[in-house]
Amino acid sequence: MVPILQFIGFIGDTMLGLLILAIIINAILSWLVAFDVVNLRNRFVFQLSHMLDAVTRPILRPFQKIIPPLGGIDITPLIALIVLQGVKAYLWTALINFLIHLAGGGAGGA
């Protein structure tokens, strides 16, 4: 049972890491589009932007409802990154360690 919980911990940790990476790439891509470095008329850029927006929108939307843009700059990706890093580093690790402890694995880790 403990190896299964460790594997679930690894998968969850990796998924949170990929979500953090997607938010960073989406923010950088939005800046590149805003400063006309890349163009959304390029099919690859458009598809990448659309995919990243679809992945990150459910995470960023609740923050955008609470935090308005400051001087036209959307800081919600930064706030979301801080929250996700905290979840990944503390809450997720603590949850997996607690479940491993309940399963009788002693002091295991994710």
Beta bridge partners of 44: none
Model confidence band, residue 71 (pLDDT cutoffs 50, 70, 90): confident
User: What is the tens place of the pLDDT at every residue in 11-54?
Assistant: 999 999 999 999 999 999 999 998 999 999 999 999 999 999 99
Residue type, 98: F
- How high is the pLDDT of residue 110? 47
What are the beta bridge partners of residue 70?
A: 73
Would you say 37 and 14 are in contact if contact means Cβ atoms under 8 Å apart? no
The DSSP secondary-structure symbol of 103 reads T
